[in-house]
Structure 1
Amino acid sequence: MKDLGNLKYFLGIEVLRSEGGIFLRQKKYTLDILAETGLIDCKPADTPILVNHGLQISDGDELADQGKYQRLVGKLIYLSLTRPDIAYAVGIVSQFMHRPQKDHYEAALRIMWYLKEMAVHGIMFRKNEQLGIYGFTDADWASNPVDRKSTAGYFTFVEYNLVTWRSKK
């Protein structure tokens, strides 16, 4: 067995250590996806998804390349490990993996436009002397006009460090 020192990079996740704690990010992975999709020089977006996006499967709409869409959304799902800010948007676009249309692909690209500006963001786990567990949740109670299902989300902090999050239909 060999000691390789402190962990710096693992499965696409950078681990940066400082006096204040540990910072996890996927900057290189994000930039690789931007390069693969040809969006390195794209104009950044302020939000990962439009408010009141209204995405749904519509009869007669133009279909997107299913393989290309599934690869992009799969990479976005993995990227959401260190990016809770895109979890809701990725959950929305992942609902259309079986029959992606042009609007769905554009919504997935908008997440990439958002990530262009925010590629260096990640999660910081700070050293903290206070001990406490805090949780927050919200739901929209059957607001989806297609299937009347709710979207709910939660996140949990331990010692003011974000440790769990989820957005689920």
Structure 2
Amino acid sequence: MKNLGNLKYFLGIEVLRSEGGIFLRQKKYILDILVETGLIDCKPADTPILVNHGLQISEEAKLADQGKYQRLVEKLIYLSHTRPDIAYAVGVVSQFMHRPQKDHFEAALRIVRYLKGTVEHGIMFRKNKHRGVYGFTDANWASNPIDRKSTAGYFTFVEGNLVTWRSKKQKVVALSSAEAEFRGIRSGLIEIL
């Protein structure tokens, strides 16, 4: 075995070290996506997805190129390993991989336009005085207009550093917002435990 020194770049993830801690980002990976999609000179979007986006499969909508859509969404899924800010939006667009339509492709491109303005973002791991494990959860109620399932999300901190995050559609239909929240709390607690 040979010691190559401190890790600097691995599988598209840059590892930057400083006295403050370790910073992970995927700047080159984002720039490659921008070039591939032709959005390198685009105007950045303020958010990765529109509020109350209402994305669904419509019978009369025009279909998008399935292969192109799947390649883009797969890259966005990999990018979400260091970008918790796009996790929800990527989860939404990944629901339409089997039959992408023009609106779905536009939503995926909006995520790319958001990345254009946040190319330097990533995750920082610091040495700090916070001790313990903390978790935060949230859920919306019946947000999917097709199956009326809720979406729940959580993120956890270990010693003050963000280590896990997830946004996922719940498996069953919640009968109230309280039930959706409790199911979201359950997911967060399972992760913490």
**TM-score, scaled to structure 1:** 0.98
Query: In the TM superposition, what whole-angstrom CA distance separates every residue of 1:104-144 from its partner, at most 9, and x where no partner exists?
Result: 00000000000000011000000113312110000112222
Match of 2:129 in 1: 129
Question: Which residue is equivalent to 2:162?
Answer: 162
Question: How far did residue 88 of structure 1 move?
Answer: 0.1
Percent identical among aligned pairs is: 86
Q: Deviations over 1:34-73 (max 9, x none)?
A: 0011100001000000000000000011000000000000
Cross-structure match for 1:10: 10
Give the aligned partner of residue 190 of structure 2: none
The amino acid of 2:154's aligned partner reads Y
Letter in 2 for 1:148: R
Q: How many residues get paired?
A: 169
The gaps in structure 2 that reach 5 residues or longer are 170-193
Name 1:49's counterpart in structure 2. 49
Q: Superposition pairs for residues 138-153 of structure 1, below 5 Å?
A: 138-153=138-153
Question: Equivalent residue for 1:75?
Answer: 75
Segments ≥4 residues shifted beyond 3 Å: none
Which runs of no fewer than 5 residues in structure 1 stay unpaired? none
Measure the CA separation in 1 of the matches of 2:65 and 2:52.
25
User: Is 2:28 the counterpart of 1:25?
Assistant: no
CA RMSD across the alignment: 0.6
Q: Is 1:89 aligned to residue 89 of structure 2?
A: yes
- Could you list the per-position Cα deviations for residues 12-31 of structure 1 after superposition, in whole angstroms to 9, with x for gaps in the alignment? 00000000100000000000
- The residue identity in structure 1 corresponding to 2:153 is G
The residue type equivalent to 1:142 in the other structure is A
Q: What's the CA shift string for 1:70-126, capped at 9, x where partnerless?
A: 000000000000000000000000000000000000000000000000011000000
